[in-house]
Amino acid sequence: MGQVNHWCRVVMNAETLRLIRSIEPEQKNVLEISGRAWADLAPFKTYQSKCFPEIDICARPFGEKKFDLIIAEQVFEHLQYPYRAGKNLFSMLNPGGYLLLTTPFLIKVHPSPLDCSRWTEDGLKFLMEECGFELNRMTSGSWGNRLCVISNFAAWPEYVHGMHPLENERDFPMVVWLLAQKGAA
């Protein structure tokens, strides 16, 4: 994805790219929060990236502009107030717009500057439901295995094909992803 392909993100990156390609990205006005990983991954109608402190999604929505897709990868674990952030992101979407979230679960603590929360796949869905999204408009997944969990205790190993297994052990989720669609007005 234009960056180091960490073992713990290989499946998540492939799945989130598949999800984004399925929602006609060329018709979407996109905001990516705290990263530029998606800038060249899909042919978006428009694309912009905003980072903290330029945008503090816990404090308020970002301006008056509405988006068709907001991407927040590996952001929510660092937020003091994830519910507030979810509500603000919901308000920043056009009706029918999408929110793509990814977050770690079984990953070492990594303050940037804080590391506050972890969610299971179900936990992330229920958090987003409380923020206004409907459960039946969400697609989610998780991936991990015990070997990857153990290897990430000391480092963030880069994926090496044939050396690192990609089998999913549901009891060892390392990363969780969610694509939630805002209902029509």
Pick from 32, 14, 3, 38: nearest CA to 156: 3
Tokens standing for residue 48: 């912009």
Owner of token pair 């991954």: 41
Region 125-148: mean pLDDT is: 97
Q: Check: pTM over 0.85? Answer yes or no.
A: yes
The one-letter amino acid at 145: N
| Strand ranges of the sheet holding 93-104, from the earlier edge strand across to the other edge | 46-50, 29-33, 67-73, 93-104, 175-181, 138-143
Q: Is the pLDDT of residue 128 over 70?
A: yes
Do 143 and 169 contact (CB within 8 A), yes or no? no
**In sequence order, what are the beta bridge partners of 69?**
30, 98
Per residue in 41-65, pLDDT (tens digit) is 999 999 999 998 788 999 998 889 9
pLDDT level of residue 185 (50, 70, 90 thresholds): low
End-to-end CA distance of the chain: 34
Each residue's pLDDT tens digit, 60-106 = 988 899 999 999 999 999 999 999 999 999 999 999 999 999 999 99
Tokens linked to 66: 């509405």
What domains are there in the chain, each with its CATH number?
7-181 (3.40.50.150)
**Residue 102 structure tokens:** 């990814």
